[in-house]
Structure 1
Amino acid sequence: MSTPSRFKKDKEIIAEYESQVKEIRAQLVEQQKCLEQQTEMRVQLLQDLQDFFRKKSEIEMEYSRNLEKLAERFMAKTRSTKDHQQYKKDQNLLSPVNCWYLLLNQVRRESKDHATLSEIYLNNVIMRFMQISEDSTRMFKKSKEISFQLHEDLMKVLNELYTVMKTYHMYHAESISAESKLKEAEKQEEKQIGRSGDPVFHIRLEERHQRRSSVKKIEKMKEKRQAKYSENKLKSIKARNEYLLTLEATNASVFKYYIHDLSDLIDCCDLGYHASLNRALRTYLSAEYNLETSRHEGLDIIENAVDCLEPRSDKQRFMEMYPTAFCPPMKFEFQSHMGDEVCQVSAQQPVQAELMLRYQQLQSRLATLKIENEEVKKTTEATLQTIQDMVTIEDYDVSECFQHSRSTESVKSTVSETYLSKPSIAKRRANQQETEQFYFMKFREYLEGSNLITKLQAKHDLLQRTLGEGHRAEYMTTRPPNLPPKPQKHRKPRPRSQYSAKLFNGDLESFIKDSGQVIPLIVESCIRFINLYGLQHQGIFRVSGSQVEVNDIKNSFERGENPLADDQSNHDINSVAGVLKLYFRGLENPVFPKERFNDLISCIRFSAAVAACRLGGTEES
């Protein structure tokens, strides 16, 4: 191919890479906007709750009429929000917003109130919401700092990939050029040798000396070009190896960020929010229950919603609300240069020893890093548990306020002595903030360490696959003494050349038609494994498994193997369940058609209503 065509192809490859990086950069900006918007919505929700309780305390004496207006006022305000539109669409809300809706409905049922309730609203509940709002803003700012650091690290990884890709293209182009010059020298040599073979009886002695001199010059030129070609070829191989290693590390880093780090960042933003809101609303519930037992039915509904204040499900709903922002991007593919058909790390003789040394160094470094990062992880988990203990103190019971006198003076003195002790609150909040500061420091350290491990592990695994079992056996004695050799599973591969339909992220009907499998092997094998080892397992299909093991099992099924064929339970049951969920989630056409979704929901509600009637003894109705 001509030089202009080659340059045009290089520009297209670079443009495609820059376009993909630009999309990731836009996603990172959109993620930050989504998290900021989520925090603003929380602050606004808490502000609405404060205004609500403040206004409610002012109209307690005529609440039968005025509280209905208040509830309608706030309900009208929420109808224009995105949460209300989501509620009208599929009745699925974030748990704090759901509590807010139920709280408004409960207000409409109120008929009278007591001065004690007004005092509790002003001096307890509103203060708690103010503290939650302050905590939410602080958590977001700290999480934002970490997210910016992660974004910078991710862009550094992408820039590194861009640099090694350009280096590889440059060295490969020089290799092609040197090869072309070498071929040209060989042609000149052949031409000169042909002339030397002509009859020499009519050639003068002087011309014979000139021809011999010309042949020697051409031979020297050929030797130089041969050496130049060998040198450039070796550089090209090394540059391609480095590009492939960096490519693997980049894909691993991007995948880790979107699958793990994003989820952890959202957890940081949510830290203590649900538990604190749980405490505040339980304070309200305690006062209401002790004031009027006739309202228990409505309050039980709110209590159930408060019990469902769960950050994990809210995080899942939140990410589903913004799928374009939190969806992992496509993996970077190896962009081969002109005429280069090698798409894997080369372990040829000139670089084999270097790769083996690099593999050993990575193995030793990973062993040290994993031990260090595991210690940091344990510290982080212990600190997180301490924070959770701090924000889950059961101090919302106000029943003592109603045991003797229901007068305003009694409530005021009891509340001030028991719940509004300023030294106690200040000390607890100071301890909490100090613990939070230590947690975020360790959390940042853990993320940085795990990111480095992910990149090094990706390079290590690629080198391990490249060098093969034979090379690893020769260097097994160089493994660190604290790392036993990883057992290898010998599985009989199953050829997939018989069918071409995709297994994951494909169409089920097409796969069944092409493969001839009535039930896909992955479904049959996973269900068999779960039936054998998972029926008594707590948290099946709810607790996430190891992402590394999930990917390993998934890749084995993709290759046509059956990693669950043996009868040994050497796989984590949560990882096997995760593979099965991943398979069904990725189908182009779901098992239950979308157009039948509403029908299925109606059937479920009908079944629930029938079950409720039977439990209530009204089966005849």
Structure 2
Amino acid sequence: MTSPAKFRKDKEIVAEYETQVKEVRAQLVEQLKCLDQQCELRVQLLQDLQDFFRKKAEIEVDYSRNLEKLAERFLTKTRSTKDHLLKKEHSILSPVNCWNLLLLQVKRESRDHATLSDLYLNNIIPRFAQISEDSGRLFKKSKEVGVQLQEDLMKVLNELYTVMKTYHMYNTDSINAESKLKDAEKQEEKQMGRSGRQQDDRQTPRSPDTLTSIKTDEKPVRRSSVKKIEKMKEKRQAKYTENKLKAIKARNEYLLALEATNSCVFKYYIHDLSDIIDCCDLGYHASLQRALRTYLSAEQNVETSKHSGLETLEGATESLEANGDKQKLMETYNNVFCPPARFDFQSHMGDTMGVVCAQQPLEVELLQRCQQLQSRLSTLKIENEEVKKTMEATLSTIQDMVTVEDYDVSECFHHSNSMESVKSTFSESYLSKPSLAKRRANQQETEQFYFTKLKEFLEGRNLITRLEAKHDLIDKTLEESQKTDCCLSSGRRNSAVRKQESGEAIPLMVKSCIRFISRHGLQHEGIFRVSGSQVEVNDIKNAFERGEDPLAGDQNDHDMDSIAGVLKLYFRGLDHALFPKEVFHDLISCVSMESLHERAVHIKKVLQSLPSKTLIIMRYLFAFLNHLSQYSEENMMDPYNLAICFGPTLMSVPEGNDQVSCQAHVNELIKTIIIHHNTIFPGLQDLPGPIYSIPGAGDDFCDSPHCEPPLVEEPAPETVSVRHNSEDVTVALTV
């Protein structure tokens, strides 16, 4: 039977899982609140814009009326005196003409401002009202999709909980059956011992009558007891075998469900949330851009002298862009939109086998299941791809509807030189067309069809993600099971290769560039941010490729930005990024952790799986970047700015992920590694190899009084081939 301590541990495991699920549920609630807040802010903004332009229209019409009165007052006076003055003195014709032109200009301004008021009331304000209506409708539909996805996600988590409890139950039954089997074996051993003692008694000399009596009494009793124990043992053995098989199957189901759940959660945070935000913003930025462009067109035609002041608004209007807003939103609420940590396998009562079991008789069953999953995935992907094409075509149609360039109102400001009062005209290019109602109906119908296809696509992608996770895990398990012998033999060969590779150090190009920057460029403003001379970058790079070191010695005649460009170019030119794509998701998941120390511990755990050669280069590079960031007051490059420069170079975002949101997470990750490189990377005892270090004071090594050069501490002579120069230590390494 299970002990109370094991039951307490089981409860703690379940409680830990429930706590994690509770945190995810709270995060989902906060996501909806965040989106609600964005919608409220958007509605308030549109309402303020309407109130602003309504008041501005009142001001413009009052101004227009005052200008009209002013012009008519002096025009009336001019008409009454014009003929008399012309007859009396022809020399005043030119001044009167100027005076008349001035009054015409006032008349023109009156007409223009009346046109502005008309445009505000009958064009721009209705546009904002329409945007508000569309935004509310789209947000409501987007929220319904988001709520459905969250319900599906919680359903997956609940299914994982059910599978985990089933696994615990069957594992408990297996342990209990094993305990009962051991009890039966002990009884059998005890009975066998008793039979042995009886055998000894029979070997003791006794009278014939006594011996006959004992044999008669003990034989039936002993045989019955032995048979009963053997029968009980066989029954318990069968029960144990049955329960053990059930426990293994339940564990397999739990592991498969665990993998599928983690994939589903990651997909929701990386892909689904991004898509939901896109739906909330569908057409909003384009429509707002059209409305503001209408205002810009009107103002620029009224008074071109104000063009310099309107450039700021023009730039802001040009900057209306959905992806940019989405990135800012996700950066502002980083803890809400970052994926949580992966759900780890919760072992039960000492069962530490956290992998899918592919031993017989489960191998055949897993193989059949893998084939079934592959077949179903092929069908689902084809179907979902068709849905995606339809959805993208519909989205393109909607975007065409909301990006019509109908904001030019130049024709409203085309005036004649007539002196007669002209009633302000109203542009019929937008709201006055009879086809507007039809356009609106078509737009809403297209939106409804798009959301239908979007929901179908997201649900299909969700199912594909879960099935792919299960299929890949089973396929990987089967491959590893089939290649065990090959791995054993190749492991011995790889061991020899690793011994050879352990003698390699930092690439000459990397080491020399870092040495040069540490000597002369720690205080160089904008280092790694400002581009250098492409010609000099190519010359230095070609010299390194020829086996030369163009930066050797103490000469400081190279452009510092070009040296920094060579270093970045080296890492950008690697066949595979310094951080492999295989660990991308595991590393990105740590960004949601508020504690930087917890992030560092998680990163260290993930990076332990990388080759020692890669870790040595990482350790050297990030120690240098940390040293460089200590001079941020002079070079303006703190850890975050350095992360922005090196993030895209060192870690590329895998295909299929949202580049905008993921790049922000990558930059945050690189910043954390720069700050906590000592915690993340192992020291010389655990990872022999070159290490970037700062020498003591008094070393006249660099030009700056604050600059301290790096030293390269080489491993033991038996592990690295070293060539000493008078200036430095050179070790060759290729990556």
Q: TM-score, normalised on structure 2?
A: 0.61
Structure 1 position 116, deviation (Å):
1.2
Q: What is residue 149 of structure 1 aligned with on the other side?
A: 148
- Tell me which amino acid in the other structure corresponds to 2:461: S
Q: How does 1:313-324 map to 2 (within 5 A)?
A: 313-324=324-335
- Structure 1: stretches of 5+ with no match in the other structure: 65-109, 474-490, 500-511, 513-522, 535-545, 566-571, 594-621
- Tell me which amino acid in the other structure corresponds to 2:38: Q
- Tell me which amino acid in the other structure corresponds to 1:465: K
1:586 equivalenced with 2:669 (yes/no): yes
Please give the alpha-carbon distance, in whole angstroms, between the structure 2 residues aligned to 1:195 and 1:293: 115
Q: How does 1:510-529 map to 2 (within 5 A)?
A: 528=570
Structure 1 position 294, deviation (Å):
0.5
Structure 1 position 142, deviation (Å):
0.5
CA contact (8 A) 2:111 2:424 kept: no
Please give the alpha-carbon distance, in whole angstroms, between the structure 2 residues aligned to 1:356 and 1:525: 48
The C-alpha deviation readout for 1:343-384, integer Å capped at 9, x for no partner, is 110001021111110011111111111111111111111111
Structure 1 position 145, deviation (Å):
1.0
Structure 1 position 187, deviation (Å):
0.8
Given the alignment, which residue of 337, 345, 369 partners 2:356? 345
Q: TM-score, normalised on structure 1?
A: 0.72
Shift of the 18–532 alpha-carbon distance from structure 1 to 2, 3 Å rule, reads closer
Structure 1 position 317, deviation (Å):
0.8
CA contact (8 A) 2:294 2:408 kept: yes
Q: What is residue 573 of structure 2 aligned with on the other side?
A: 531
1:52 equivalenced with 2:135 (yes/no): no
CA contact (8 A) 2:28 2:150 kept: yes
Structure 1 position 459, deviation (Å):
0.3
1:250 equivalenced with 2:300 (yes/no): no
Please give the alpha-carbon distance, in whole angstroms, between the structure 2 residues aligned to 1:443 and 1:123: 35
The secondary structure found in structure 1 opposite 2:252 is helix
Structure 1 position 558, deviation (Å):
5.9
Shift of the 380–527 alpha-carbon distance from structure 1 to 2, 3 Å rule, reads farther
Please give the alpha-carbon distance, in whole angstroms, between the structure 1 residues aligned to 2:31 and 2:186: 60
Q: What is residue 185 of structure 1 aligned with on the other side?
A: 184
Q: How does 1:457-536 map to 2 (within 5 A)?
A: 457-468=468-479, 471=482, 528=570, 530-531=572-573
CA contact (8 A) 2:358 2:366 kept: yes
Please give the alpha-carbon distance, in whole angstroms, between the structure 2 residues aligned to 1:165 and 1:304: 55
Please give the alpha-carbon distance, in whole angstroms, between the structure 2 residues aligned to 1:420 and 1:145: 31
CA contact (8 A) 1:373 1:446 kept: yes
Shift of the 209–464 alpha-carbon distance from structure 1 to 2, 3 Å rule, reads same
Shift of the 581–30 alpha-carbon distance from structure 1 to 2, 3 Å rule, reads closer
Structure 1 position 550, deviation (Å):
5.2
Please give the alpha-carbon distance, in whole angstroms, between the structure 2 residues aligned to 1:525 and 1:580: 21
CA contact (8 A) 2:160 2:258 kept: yes
Q: What is residue 627 of structure 2 aligned with on the other side?
A: none
Please give the alpha-carbon distance, in whole angstroms, between the structure 2 residues aligned to 1:230 and 1:318: 56
Q: How does 1:304-453 map to 2 (within 5 A)?
A: 304-404=315-415, 410-412=423-425, 414-415=426-427, 417-453=428-464
Please give the alpha-carbon distance, in whole angstroms, between the structure 1 residues aligned to 2:52 and 2:669: 44
Please give the alpha-carbon distance, in whole angstroms, between the structure 2 residues aligned to 1:134 and 1:396: 20
Please give the alpha-carbon distance, in whole angstroms, between the structure 1 residues aligned to 2:37 and 2:666: 32
Q: What is residue 575 of structure 1 aligned with on the other side?
A: 654
CA contact (8 A) 2:50 2:125 kept: yes
The secondary structure found in structure 2 opposite 1:18 is helix
Which 10-residue stretch deviates more, 197-206 or 574-583? Answer: 574-583
Q: What is residue 196 of structure 2 aligned with on the other side?
A: 197
Please give the alpha-carbon distance, in whole angstroms, between the structure 2 residues aligned to 1:320 and 1:145: 24
Q: What is residue 227 of structure 2 aligned with on the other side?
A: 216
The C-alpha deviation readout for 1:54-80, integer Å capped at 9, x for no partner, is 00111126669xxxxxxxxxxxxxxxx
Please give the alpha-carbon distance, in whole angstroms, between the structure 2 residues aligned to 1:532 and 1:274: 39
Please give the alpha-carbon distance, in whole angstroms, between the structure 1 residues aligned to 2:584 and 2:338: 18
Please give the alpha-carbon distance, in whole angstroms, between the structure 2 residues aligned to 1:584 and 1:38: 25
- Structure 2: stretches of 5+ with no match in the other structure: 65-108, 203-210, 485-492, 503-513, 515-564, 589-602, 618-650, 677-735
Structure 1 position 469, deviation (Å):
5.8
Q: What is residue 559 of structure 1 aligned with on the other side?
A: 609
Which 10-residue stretch deviates more, 315-324 or 285-294? Answer: 315-324
Q: What is residue 732 of structure 2 aligned with on the other side?
A: none
Which 10-residue stretch deviates more, 400-409 or 241-250? Answer: 400-409
Please give the alpha-carbon distance, in whole angstroms, between the structure 1 residues aligned to 2:224 and 2:139: 80
CA contact (8 A) 2:252 2:356 kept: yes
Please give the alpha-carbon distance, in whole angstroms, between the structure 2 residues aligned to 1:248 and 1:140: 32
Please give the alpha-carbon distance, in whole angstroms, between the structure 2 residues aligned to 1:452 and 1:196: 63
CA contact (8 A) 1:58 1:118 kept: yes
- Tell me which amino acid in the other structure corresponds to 2:260: A
The C-alpha deviation readout for 1:204-229, integer Å capped at 9, x for no partner, is 42112211211111111110000000
Q: How does 1:125-144 map to 2 (within 5 A)?
A: 125-144=124-143
Structure 1 position 38, deviation (Å):
0.5
Q: What is residue 159 of structure 1 aligned with on the other side?
A: 158
- Tell me which amino acid in the other structure corresponds to 2:217: E
1:287 equivalenced with 2:366 (yes/no): no
Structure 1 position 342, deviation (Å):
0.8
Paired residue total: 491
The secondary structure found in structure 2 opposite 1:332 is coil
- Tell me which amino acid in the other structure corresponds to 2:141: K
CA contact (8 A) 2:112 2:413 kept: no
Please give the alpha-carbon distance, in whole angstroms, between the structure 2 residues aligned to 1:38 and 1:195: 82
Which 10-residue stretch deviates more, 553-562 or 418-427? Answer: 553-562
Structure 1 position 146, deviation (Å):
0.5
Q: What is residue 278 of structure 2 aligned with on the other side?
A: 267
Q: How does 1:58-77 map to 2 (within 5 A)?
A: 58-60=58-60
- Tell me which amino acid in the other structure corresponds to 1:270: D
% same residue: 65
CA contact (8 A) 1:495 1:560 kept: no
The secondary structure found in structure 1 opposite 2:654 is helix
Structure 1 position 284, deviation (Å):
0.2
Please give the alpha-carbon distance, in whole angstroms, between the structure 2 residues aligned to 1:408 and 1:397: 25
Q: What is residue 569 of structure 1 aligned with on the other side?
A: none
The C-alpha deviation readout for 1:15-62, integer Å capped at 9, x for no partner, is 111111111111111111111111111010000000000001111266
Which 10-residue stretch deviates more, 443-452 or 552-561? Answer: 552-561
Q: What is residue 28 of structure 1 aligned with on the other side?
A: 28
The C-alpha deviation readout for 1:365-423, integer Å capped at 9, x for no partner, is 111111111111111111111111110000000000011259996533x42x3333242
- Tell me which amino acid in the other structure corresponds to 2:34: C
The secondary structure found in structure 2 opposite 1:147 is helix
- Tell me which amino acid in the other structure corresponds to 2:137: R
1:122 equivalenced with 2:121 (yes/no): yes
Please give the alpha-carbon distance, in whole angstroms, between the structure 2 residues aligned to 1:408 and 1:230: 103
Please give the alpha-carbon distance, in whole angstroms, between the structure 1 residues aligned to 2:330 and 2:665: 17
Shift of the 401–495 alpha-carbon distance from structure 1 to 2, 3 Å rule, reads farther
Structure 1 position 322, deviation (Å):
1.9
The secondary structure found in structure 1 opposite 2:434 is helix
Structure 1 position 531, deviation (Å):
3.3
- Tell me which amino acid in the other structure corresponds to 1:586: L
Q: What is residue 16 of structure 1 aligned with on the other side?
A: 16
Structure 1 position 588, deviation (Å):
5.9
Please give the alpha-carbon distance, in whole angstroms, between the structure 2 residues aligned to 1:57 and 1:324: 44
Please give the alpha-carbon distance, in whole angstroms, between the structure 2 residues aligned to 1:20 and 1:495: 40
When the two chains are superposed, the root-mean-square deviation of aligned CA atoms in Å is 3.8
Structure 1 position 449, deviation (Å):
0.3
Structure 1 position 128, deviation (Å):
0.3
Please give the alpha-carbon distance, in whole angstroms, between the structure 1 residues aligned to 2:413 and 2:335: 52
- Tell me which amino acid in the other structure corresponds to 1:38: Q
Please give the alpha-carbon distance, in whole angstroms, between the structure 2 residues aligned to 1:10 and 1:552: 27
CA contact (8 A) 1:119 1:408 kept: no
The secondary structure found in structure 1 opposite 2:443 is helix
